[in-house]
């Protein structure tokens, strides 16, 4: 009894997240993060809008992602840097402004922002636009108190990283920021086995929703590599809750396989990946830092035009899954809050053993 009270007290303490005052929260997100009006929230990234997909397809996808989160009972919090402010939750004109940066890729003034770029982009003030990567979005989601985030694919260890040292900042972030990232695995342009090795080194919890127990390979559902299996949304939510309770400062990867009807296209994309990577080496793109990933994605879209649609299908599917798990997590949090309230009425015993 006393022990369970101590656990409850700790549980309530772990629930009290106050958004960092510098963040500009949308009214819907602010309300959802208020303990009195708590609602499930799903963070969404913005590099996919500014650098991942062409205009106006990027705007359609961004809107569909937000709508999918809403349709499954959660509040969308698209994260971006605009006019020197970190925004958590965007309105329609803001979403459109991000999307329009990609109209002409050669004149794109938006900055692809991972953790290292955040302060620099904010210092540019009025007129500046930063599309946050998985790393950048995780930093700001955590500062806001949003533990669940949906995206398409995480960055990872690039092929040839033994000489280029190109390992995405997303992996480091996952090792040090307690946010659960719902994705379809690392993009197949990457080295998936080595990406899993680095995630293990950094202490990141990696789970699949694939009933085969396989880690998905972004455009296809199977990579041939096994990781632990999350059978239900409730199990995933319980893992996120446990991580927060223990105060572990590391994140999760929840890998959600692309719907099976896309596997055939995925096999074809896979064959073109080799070609795109080869070309990137021939043209020296592989040594161009943060340009590498957008270049490879664009080249792949040229080689297999359907890859854009695969990308949309999987990221929407991830937003749905993240929203469902966010609803479960919210339910657990409400239960804890209620149980603590019941104790509080009778007075929580002071002895903690």
Residues that bind Mn ion (CB under 5 A): 166
Does 286 bind ligand PSU (CB under 6 A)? Our answer is no
CA-to-CA distance for 44 and 302, rounded, in angstroms?
A: 26
Please identify every residue annotated as catalytic. Answer: 45, 187
Stretch of residues binding ligand PSU (CB under 6 A), selected from 25-33, 254-262, 289-297, 318-326? 289-297
Which does residue 51 bind out of ligand PSU, Mn ion, none, counting CB within 5 to 8 angstroms by kind? ligand PSU
Instruction: For the segment 179-238, give every residue that binds ligand PSU (CB under 6 A).
Output: 187
Q: Which residue has the tokens 């990867």?
A: 253
CA-to-CA distance for 182 and 321, rounded, in angstroms?
A: 8
CB of 328 to ligand PSU, least distance (A): 25
CA-to-CA distance for 14 and 173, rounded, in angstroms?
A: 21
CB of 262 to ligand PSU, least distance (A): 14
CA-to-CA distance for 285 and 238, rounded, in angstroms?
A: 42
> What are the helix and strand counts (H, E) for the chain?
14, 10
Which residue, 75 or 154, is less far from ligand PSU as judged by CB? 154
Does 308 bind ligand PSU (CB under 6 A)? Our answer is no
Are 144 and 88 in contact, with CB atoms under 8 Å apart? yes
Which residue, 97 or 312, is less far from ligand PSU as judged by CB? 312
Closest CA to 15 of 335, 294, 274, 269: 335
Does 48 bind ligand PSU (CB under 6 A)? Our answer is yes
Instruction: State which of residues 8, 11, 51, 188 lies at the interface with ligand PSU (CB under 6 A).
Output: 51
CB of 289 to Mn ion, least distance (A): 6
Which residue, 31 or 250, is less far from ligand PSU as judged by CB? 250
Closest residue to ligand PSU, Cβ-based? 52
Residues with Cβ < 8 Å from 28, sequence gap 6 or more? 75, 89
Question: Strand (E) positions, 129-246?
Answer: 129-132, 148-150, 180-183, 205-208
Stretch of residues binding ligand PSU (CB under 6 A), selected from 45-53, 83-91, 96-104, 266-274? 45-53
For the chain, the straight-line distance linking the first and the last C-alpha, in angstroms and rounded, comes to 10
Which residue, 133 or 324, is less far from ligand PSU as judged by CB? 133
Which residue, 166 or 233, is less far from Mn ion as judged by CB? 166
CA-to-CA distance for 21 and 86, rounded, in angstroms?
A: 11
Instruction: State which of residues 66, 117, 170, 233 lies at the interface with ligand PSU (CB under 6 A).
Output: 170
Which residue, 15 or 265, is less far from ligand PSU as judged by CB? 265
Identify the three-state secondary structure at position 25.
strand
Stretch of residues binding ligand PSU (CB under 6 A), selected from 41-49, 245-253, 271-279, 342-350? 41-49
Residues with Cβ < 8 Å from 137, sequence gap 6 or more? 43, 44, 45, 46, 79, 149, 151
| Total Cβ atoms within 10 A of residue 188 | 25
63, containing H or E segment:
helix 57-71
Instruction: State which of residues 94, 205, 280, 311 lies at the interface with ligand PSU (CB under 6 A).
Output: 311
CB of 135 to ligand PSU, least distance (A): 6
CB of 185 to ligand PSU, least distance (A): 10
Exposure string (b/e) for 292-322, b if CB count within 10 Å is 16 or more? bbbbbbbbbbebbebbbebbbbbbbbbbbbb
Integer angstrom CA distances of residue 34 from 76, 145, 263, 282 = 15, 10, 41, 52
Does 155 bind ligand PSU (CB under 6 A)? Our answer is yes
Instruction: For the segment 121-150, give every residue that binds ligand PSU (CB under 6 A).
Output: 133-134
Does 115 bind ligand PSU (CB under 6 A)? Our answer is no
CB of 106 to ligand PSU, least distance (A): 17
Q: Which residues bind ligand PSU (CB under 6 A)?
A: 45, 47-48, 51-52, 133-134, 152-153, 155, 168-170, 187, 290, 293, 297, 311
């Amino acid at each position: 009894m006393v022990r369970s009270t101590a656990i409850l007290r700790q549980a309530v303490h772990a629930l009290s997240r106050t958004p960092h005052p510098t963040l500009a929260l949308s009214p819907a997100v602010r309300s959802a993060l208020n303990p009195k009006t708590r609602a499930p929230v799903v963070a969404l990234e913005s590099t996919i809008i500014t650098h991942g997909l062409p205009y106006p397809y990027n705007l359609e996808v961004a809107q569909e992602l937000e709508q999918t989160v809403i349709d499954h009972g959660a509040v969308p919090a698209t994260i971006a840097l605009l006019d020197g402010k970190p925004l958590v939750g965007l309105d329609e004109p803001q979403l459109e402004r991000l999307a329009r940066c990609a109209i002409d890729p050669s004149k794109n003034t938006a900055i692809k922002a991972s953790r290292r770029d955040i302060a620099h982009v904010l210092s540019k003030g009025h007129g500046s636009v930063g599309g946050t990567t998985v790393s950048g979005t995780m930093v700001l989601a955590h500062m806001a108190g949003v533990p669940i985030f949906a995206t398409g694919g995480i960055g990872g260890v690039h092929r040839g990283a033994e000489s280029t040292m190109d390992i995405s900042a997303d992996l480091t972030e996952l090792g040090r920021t307690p946010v659960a990232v719902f994705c379809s695995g690392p993009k197949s342009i990457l080295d998936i086995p080595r990406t899993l090795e680095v995630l293990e080194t950094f202490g990141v919890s990696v789970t699949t929703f694939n009933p085969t127990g396989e880690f998905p390979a972004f455009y296809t559902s199977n990579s041939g590599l096994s990781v632990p299996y999350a059978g239900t949304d409730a199990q995933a939510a319980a893992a996120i809750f446990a991580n927060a309770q223990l105060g572990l400062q590391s994140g999760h990867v929840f890998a959600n396989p692309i719907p099976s009807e896309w596997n055939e296209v995925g096999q074809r994309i896979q064959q073109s990946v080799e070609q795109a990577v080869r070309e990137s080496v021939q043209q020296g793109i592989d040594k161009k830092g943060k340009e590498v990933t957008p270049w490879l994605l664009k080249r792949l879209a040229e080689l297999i035009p359907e890859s854009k649609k695969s990308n949309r299908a999987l990221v929407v599917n991830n937003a749905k899954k993240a929203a469902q798990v966010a609803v479960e997590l919210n339910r657990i949090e409400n239960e804890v809050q209620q149980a603590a309230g019941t104790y509080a009425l009778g007075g929580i015993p002071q002895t903690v053993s």
